[in-house]
Structure 1
């Protein structure tokens, strides 16, 4: 009997500890987040989602995997990788292949991007490398010219170059024809703002 009680308390304790965690795919990698550490924005999101009667994902005891993180937790978590003075201008977006990212753009109350559209650019390995290098160099130089492109290297591993299609083209002019073709599309040229996101071996172009 004592052994059974001990086992029972161990399972309960483990479940409670695990229940404080959630999982998500961020920047192409699966992560587990201690959700209680990221509640500033998440609490408001959770409250408003309940008011809208959004279904919540239950703990999957059969598989032993943590529940999916809600957008509020992910926003708070990724906000730690962005300079504090800039996070107000960021929103959370997601792609089918690489999960969630934080990019410049207006957001709704859940922290999700309102109008941003992200498309994967089928760059070659060499072109992806050159794009990543170019953005990283720009981030090191801290490009802050009025009307110019802004390069940011997130601690999360994402490299972002944002600005107008023209300024980004000027900064990535030597990176290859695939990226230049994508940037010259009519919808991109007409966009209010454009961001090129490089993470791992993948490049996305986002417009709003």
Structure 2
């Protein structure tokens, strides 16, 4: 009688351990998070998102795969690994290939970007490497001019260059004609708070746009 009881206890314990974990793709790499340890920001997540996530979460656990992380849990997790000055004023955005990554911008109740929209720039491997190196080198330089581009080697793994489109063009002109072309569009030139990101082997251009509604993800 004792053996079946112990076996059942192990199954219950394993299920509980799995239930505490969730998975997410961040900067092109899959990570697994102990979700219960990152619930501070998640307390602000509305019940409707949790309810919509519940069916798929139950299915994944049944197959031994951690459910997808709620964005608020993921934001809390990143907040423990990223310095305060690199998490405040940042929000989560998502791409099908790279997964989640942090960008400058206002966040909604789930930690997702409200006004910042990012588009992937179709750069070559050589251009991506050149942009990454350029931003990394700039991040080592102290920026004293308020009008200059601000470069950050983000602890989340992204290289971020922020400023006006014209300033970014000046900084990246020698590294990627594709990125310069993207920054030269009327929309980019008139946008407030433009950023170029090199993350997960890709380059993105991000800028402010119309606020997104605070609705649960599908």
**TM-score, normalised relative to structure 2:** 0.87
Moved more, 84-93 or 95-104: 84-93
- CA deviation vs aligned residue, 1:93-142 (integer Å, no higher than 9, x gap): 11122111111011112111112111111111111111000111111224
Moved more, 82-91 or 12-21: 82-91
Structure showing the higher helix proportion among its residues: 2
DSSP-derived class of the 2:32 partner: strand
Aligned partner of 2:47 among 41, 45, 50: 50
The question of whether the paired residues in 2 share the 8 Å contact of 1:142 and 1:150 is answered with: no
The question of whether the paired residues in 2 share the 8 Å contact of 1:142 and 1:151 is answered with: no
User: Over the residues paired in the alignment, what is the CA RMSD in angstroms?
Assistant: 1.7
Equivalent-residue separation in structure 1 for 2:142 and 2:71 (angstroms): 29
Equivalent-residue separation in structure 2 for 1:87 and 1:94 (angstroms): 16
Question: Do the aligned partners of residues 86 and 125 (structure 1) sit closer, same or farther apart at CA in structure 2, a change above 3 Å counting?
Answer: closer
Equivalent-residue separation in structure 2 for 1:124 and 1:135 (angstroms): 17
- Counterpart of 1:21? 21
4+ residue segments displaced more than 3 Å: 51-54
- Counterpart of 2:124? 124
Count of aligned pairs between the two proteins = 205
1:84-95 mapped onto 2 (5 Å cutoff): 84-95=84-95
Moved more, 143-152 or 173-182: 143-152
Say whether 1:109 aligns with 2:106: no
**TM-score, normalised relative to structure 1:** 0.91
Deviation for aligned residue 1:69 = 0.6
- Compare relative contact order (CA 8 Å, sep 6+) and give the higher one, 1 or 2: 2
